[in-house]
Amino acid sequence: MATTQFAVWWARPGGNIFNGAGFDSSISGAGTNYANQDTAQLTRTDATTSNVSTALTIPASGTPFSADLVGNAVAIVISATYSCHRFITAFVSATEVTLDATPPTSSAGAATIRIGGATTFTNTGFHPLGSAPSAAPVSGNKLWIKGTGITTDYTISSNSLNFSIVASNDKPFTAEGYTTTEGDGGRPILTTSASALACVTISGKFNIVKNLSVNATGAAFFGLNVTNTNNLIRKVVCQGIFPAKEQGGANIWIDCEFKGSAAGNAGMSQTAGECYFEGCSFHGNATFGLDAGNNGPSEYANCLFYANTTDGVNMPAGLTHGLRFVNCVFWNNGRDGIRNDSTAATGGLYDWTIRRCIFGKNVGYDVNFTLEDATLFSGAIEWAAVYLECNAFYTTGTGKMHFLPANSGDITLTASPFTSDTVFTLNTTSGGGAAVTAGICTTTLPDANVLVIPIGFSATSSSVAAVSMRSLWREYTGELSTEISDTVVDIYLQAGLEALNRRVHYHYTTDESAVTLVAGTQEYTLPSDCIEVLWVYLNGSKLQKRDVEDWDKREEQWREEAAGTPTEYAHEGNRVIFRPKPNALAVASDSTPSIRYISTPPSITTSGPEQLSSEDYRTCVLYGAAQWSVAHPDAALAVQRAKGFMDMFNEETQGMAEEYRNRSLAR
């Protein structure tokens, strides 16, 4: 098995299934990583292995062992049959190295070994994962998969690529695609050449699989088949005859795409519940976008279901539990947006939730409940008041809802709210996108706080709050005439947001892509909205916050230190500085640290008073009114108002700063 949780593996289209493919930088004396290259660094066909010794030996003739091979994985093949992967833990001599564990079989001078070089995926999946008795990767390991993202990079001809590790929840196994450099978000393309074969399978637990494009060629097999629980699938494109199947349950799918299925197959066939889908797109499938199967409850947030031949979502007769849809779009499907055919005793309306969604251009019903006419039951009417809340409908087909009570909060659209039928950004058309934006849902909590929630995943946020703040600004300044446009008013309100943020630091941003590490580079430019870095996580570990002045005061030679895995950082000006500077291994392990920082509030015109408590809106308006009065001192009264507004602003921000610190909302 791999020596530690820190081992990293590489796959490349030009690699070899019998290459070493792995490197473990945590091994004492680790040398050079030779895994991220097509060919092996050292190949011998005359090695001696023993199932009772960790010594690996070769004859004195030919290419010798060297100390820089320590830390690399070696693949061992005996009699043309794969044996195992092991890691080199020590260099003994030019003819001997030490392995981390004994090989399963012995061979006297006839074993083929390859040290270094990436693996590939053809007819055997990934040897270290799927071939007993190796099972080399362990919890915490990572597999980098390189590709072009343009043409097929890996053709799977037998034995689907199976992520089978049962990892631990705090040390998941990760497989991530890229196209140029690790962490660039590119998606290599994998496809099958045999019809009776899934392209990629996840049969393990606590696996993270991200940035891949998988294609199924078999009618009864899948591009991606998930058969176990507690996995995360992110930014994976599933397509082909049968794009994807979820039969494990309790998995999370983020920013995935399911498209292009053949007749009789859905984009996603789901037979297990308790899953969470966010930001996923189900479109262009020959039957349903989502076939819910007979699974238990799952939730779908900010998802798209469009241009499917029949239903966007189909809930069949045997479904025993409702599904939950929040801020989703159901658009231009060949039959219904959502069709609920459940006849199960615990199915039907039970826990079925459709809130803040947008429906339109579906040929049949936007929402079709086929069991019975639920509009006849007072209980169903009460159910609709909560579970069918604040949805928008541009109905052009058979009807809006079938056998379901209407909700008084529904919004009727008279025009399409979107840029197009495939680009789901809101337009500004009256009765279309403008009606969706104006129809933002508000909920008053028992403590009198008001939640302002947009409809659909693309709606702009908090416009209701911005409207209220503009009205208050006009009241304070006396500029009630519409000659002063909202655009001008927003300039002064924006100044108020930024002034308040400088005082109390209420606005934060967490960014996983603000900085991309480069081997040997110590300093990186931060986003322009960054005010102060609060914390940095790299490869799951929180870095210690330090200060350049402190480093210099202690006469620490931090610029001259050898590169390695950063453990500290400092924020200076518009830069973040890592110590030590990252080396190639650190970049390969995690090139995109997570950074949380105090940030400049975004434009109030598009985002409203984002992250600001509603009780503090007035404080920003005071500052904006003061600035207007200073900029337009056309009377003595304006000057007096400016001073009064600013005094009130200063007084309120002092109290807010203390309150926010006590509530851990600011620093």
CA distance linking residue 654 with residue 667, whole number of Å: 13
pLDDT digits (tens, 9 = 90+) for 545-557: 999 999 999 888 8
User: What pairs with residue 532 in β-bridges?
Assistant: 598
Length of the chain (residues):
667
pLDDT class of 135 with cuts at 50, 70, 90: very low
Lowest mean pLDDT among 195-209, 225-239, 370-384, 450-464: 450-464
Q: Could you tell me if 19 and 114 are in contact, meaning their C-beta atoms sit under 8 angstroms apart?
A: yes
Q: What is the DSSP string of 182-206?
A: TTS----EEEESSSS--SEEE-SBS
- 122 vs 361, higher pLDDT: 361
pLDDT confidence of residue 463: 54
CA distance linking residue 214 with residue 223, whole number of Å: 5
pLDDT class of 514 with cuts at 50, 70, 90: confident
Residue 240 Rama label (left phi>0; alpha psi -120 to 50; beta): left
Domain ranges of the chain: 8-115, 468-503+613-662, 508-599
pLDDT confidence of residue 634: 63
Angle between helices 486-504 and 636-662 (to 10 degrees): 40
CA distance linking residue 150 with residue 181, whole number of Å: 16
Q: Could you tell me if 332 and 307 are in contact, meaning their C-beta atoms sit under 8 angstroms apart?
A: yes
Work out whether strand 358-360 and strand 161-163 pair parallel, antiparallel, or are unpaired: unpaired
Against a cut of 0.75, is the pTM above it? no
Whether residue 666 is predicted with pLDDT greater than 60 in this model: the reply is no
pLDDT class of 12 with cuts at 50, 70, 90: very high
pLDDT class of 320 with cuts at 50, 70, 90: confident
pLDDT confidence of residue 132: 45
Residue 295 Rama label (left phi>0; alpha psi -120 to 50; beta): beta
pLDDT confidence of residue 291: 96
Query: Can you read off the two tokens belonging to residue 383?
Result: 């159910």
Work out whether strand 568-572 and strand 575-579 pair parallel, antiparallel, or are unpaired: antiparallel
pLDDT digits (tens, 9 = 90+) for 13-32: 999 999 999 999 999 999 99
pLDDT confidence of residue 633: 66
Whether residue 630 is predicted with pLDDT greater than 90 in this model: the reply is no
For residue 527, what are the contacts with CB-CB under 8 A and spacing of at least 6? 509, 511, 514, 597, 599
Whether residue 648 is predicted with pLDDT greater than 70 in this model: the reply is yes
For range 128-144, the mean pLDDT: 68
Whether residue 131 is predicted with pLDDT greater than 60 in this model: the reply is no
pLDDT digits (tens, 9 = 90+) for 327-366: 999 999 999 999 999 988 777 788 899 999 999 999 999 9
Q: Could you tell me if 498 and 619 are in contact, meaning their C-beta atoms sit under 8 angstroms apart?
A: no
pLDDT confidence of residue 654: 80
Question: What rounded mean pLDDT belongs to the chain?
Answer: 88
Whether residue 318 is predicted with pLDDT greater than 50 in this model: the reply is yes
Lowest mean pLDDT among 63-67, 253-257, 476-480, 560-564: 476-480
pLDDT confidence of residue 458: 53
Give the whole-number percent of the chain exceeding pLDDT 70: 93
Q: Could you tell me if 281 and 262 are in contact, meaning their C-beta atoms sit under 8 angstroms apart?
A: no
Integer CA distances (angstroms), 98 to 54, 74, 78, 300, 608, in order: 6, 11, 18, 51, 62
pLDDT class of 499 with cuts at 50, 70, 90: very high
Query: Can you read off the two tokens belonging to residue 428?
Result: 């500004």
pLDDT class of 170 with cuts at 50, 70, 90: confident
Cis-peptide into 133, omega within 30 deg: yes
pLDDT confidence of residue 380: 86
Spatial CA neighbour of 586 closest among 81, 30, 21: 30
pLDDT class of 256 with cuts at 50, 70, 90: very high
Whether residue 543 is predicted with pLDDT greater than 60 in this model: the reply is yes
Q: Which of 105-119, 155-169, 422-436 has the highest mean pLDDT?
A: 105-119
pLDDT class of 2 with cuts at 50, 70, 90: very low
CA distance linking residue 340 with residue 630, whole number of Å: 61
Whether residue 459 is predicted with pLDDT greater than 50 in this model: the reply is no
pLDDT digits (tens, 9 = 90+) for 584-612: 998 988 888 889 899 999 888 777 788 88
**Residue linked to tokens 């998995």:** 251
Give the whole-number percent of the chain exceeding pLDDT 90: 56
